[in-house]
Structure 1
Amino acid sequence: MPLYGITGATGRLGGAVAHLLAGAGVQQRLIVRDPARAPDLPGADVRVAGFDDPAALAHAMDGVDVLLLVSAGESADRRTLHHHVVEAAAGAEVERVVYTSFLGAAPDCTFTFGRDHAATESMLEAARLPTTALRNSFYLDVLPQFVTDGALRGPAGTGRVGAVAISDVAAVAAAALLEDEHAGRTYDVTGPTALSLDEVAAEITAVTGRDVRYVEESVEEAYASRAASGAPGWMVDGWVSTYTAIASGELDVVTPTVAELTGRAPLSLRDLLLRDHDGDREAATDPGGAAGA
């Protein structure tokens, strides 16, 4: 039985994949920075390694046959961190890698953080690691978090985005890990429809009852409002290009990948909002639920 290595297992995406693999009854190794946060799952052992520690990564990869590389959080040195993981995987002779990339990843794509993903795909190719690249659209789950003071603000124009639920990405990743036939393939992973931010705001309003609207900013206004946070320039570039990537049309993409790899339709924004809204209401009335934790 192959050993599956799961990075990011304490995060939302990696943790969801780990739970799916546990349900499939396979052996897996959870590669985490904080073992206290690692999920307690049957068939799983835990090894501690941060992406900034090549020696620990080499130890964590020992014996791993198939690796899920969940991309590191945005940082100025993300490419270096990914390079450490790729080197460790190559040194451990990992047979296959499933990498969580970004839709339209390219050295010159509009979304600046997407350029890191293109560089990482190139690293994996140079290391001759058979890779399944999951080029995920923006996460549906994150779009409501962009709302501040009742508004989605940004220079997205009338562009559209086929955003995808994290749970659907996790299901696709689990399928890609478990089936050898996906090695060497690149999949664009999206939700069921492409939405403008006007439509996103309308859906949030309809489901939650919150009055949310889309306020279009100019690029200059977007930079000014976000630079006020004191964030470094590379991060502000990423924040603003979240919206300009939508405006460019690069993310106006809808694919059947979720249905083809998982056998079920992807969640829509309304599906996700209803699920989360119903969960919040249950927690609010249940002393043992999230509101009482």
Structure 2
Amino acid sequence: MTDAPALAVTGATGKVGGLVARAVAAAGVPQRLLVRDPRRAPDLPGAEVRQVAYGQDAMHALEGVEVLFMVSGAESADRVAEHRAFIDDAAEAGVDHVVYTSFLGASPTSTFLLGRDHAATEEHLRRAGLRHTLLRDNLYLDVLPEFVGPDGALRGPAGDGRLGAVARADVARVATTVLLDPRRHAGRTYDLTGPEALSLDEVAATITEVTGREVRYVPETLAEAYASRSSYGAPDWQVDAWVSTYTAIAAGEMAAVTDHVERVTGQPPLSLRALLRP
């Protein structure tokens, strides 16, 4: 195993993990891509591919790895248990440092229910005794246009709360910087946000101005929010999580704006306007 890459990246078939894997390859650093479906793995110089999924035995995929980029798993009722099992395998395999994509303000009492999953994962990293760096991302800027319905309405019980959303590209730049010099960032927690905190009215107005698509924010009550999402056929825990995205905004838990992206990378984060601009 002496010739095996000492750096491993999970989620390389996804958005953030894919950006990180490509940036690591561009830097000329060997890496191991840990993916569920090897057929979808990017073909990158200096990269080897191992098939693994959270919730499965990962020892074979983690052997020889020193630094691990752990993208949080897909939303599921079992996500925390899967994360814990993967972390346990990483500790047993001798992984030295885990860089984990968490969520802004992760806490056992987060209004955003998935923030509680991230808090549990962070705690397990500590209990496992693994050196780690936490990237606590705000909501992704990239998904805000996807929240707009076919009628041009951005609906949710967010009140007049504000959101310091961050671009996936900026999260990936921070992650890559940390992975290429992990000891410098050991033990650090970075709160990753965009350059401004916008209300959903301002989000809608910006999408309209930049794209030409007429978008408006429609505030909902909790009852209206649950009713408008009931047609998707999602399990109760997922609907609760979707609605809590907006109630967390209303509670001010996503309003923070930090300089951590620029502090780590030397470049300011993208704004929604810059992200949408052709």
TM-score, structure 1 length as denominator? Answer: 0.92
Aligned counterpart, 2:64: 63
User: How far has the Cα of 1:222 moved from its partner?
Assistant: 0.3
Kindly provide the amino acid, as one letter, of the partner of residue 215 in structure 2.
V
Aligned counterpart, 2:163: 161
In 1, Cα distance between equivalents of 2:193 and 2:154:
21
In 1, Cα distance between equivalents of 2:21 and 2:11:
9
User: How far has the Cα of 1:52 moved from its partner?
Assistant: 2.1
In 2, Cα distance between equivalents of 1:234 and 1:61:
31
1:195 aligns with 2:195: no
Aligned counterpart, 1:259: 262
User: How far has the Cα of 1:89 moved from its partner?
Assistant: 0.6
User: How far has the Cα of 1:230 moved from its partner?
Assistant: 2.0
Aligned alpha-carbon RMSD (Å): 1.0
1:213 pairs, out of 206, 212, 216, with 216
Kindly provide the amino acid, as one letter, of the partner of residue 119 in structure 2.
A
Aligned counterpart, 1:133: 134
In 2, Cα distance between equivalents of 1:94 and 1:25:
21
**Aligned pairs for 1:1-293 within 5 A:** 3-54=6-57, 57-148=58-149, 149-179=151-181, 180-274=183-277, 278=278
In 2, Cα distance between equivalents of 1:142 and 1:267:
14
In 1, Cα distance between equivalents of 2:96 and 2:29:
16
Kindly provide the amino acid, as one letter, of the partner of residue 154 in structure 1.
G
Query: Unaligned regions of 5+ residues in structure 1, if any?
Result: 279-293
User: How far has the Cα of 1:223 moved from its partner?
Assistant: 1.1
Query: Unaligned regions of 5+ residues in structure 2, if any?
Result: none
Kindly provide the amino acid, as one letter, of the partner of residue 91 in structure 2.
A
Q: What SS does the aligned partner of 2:233 have?
A: coil
Runs of 4+ in 1 over 6 A off after TM superposition: none
Q: Percent of pairs identical after alignment?
A: 62
Kindly provide the amino acid, as one letter, of the partner of residue 113 in structure 2.
T
In 2, Cα distance between equivalents of 1:205 and 1:215:
14
User: How far has the Cα of 1:23 moved from its partner?
Assistant: 1.1
In 2, Cα distance between equivalents of 1:91 and 1:39:
28
Q: What SS does the aligned partner of 2:203 have?
A: helix
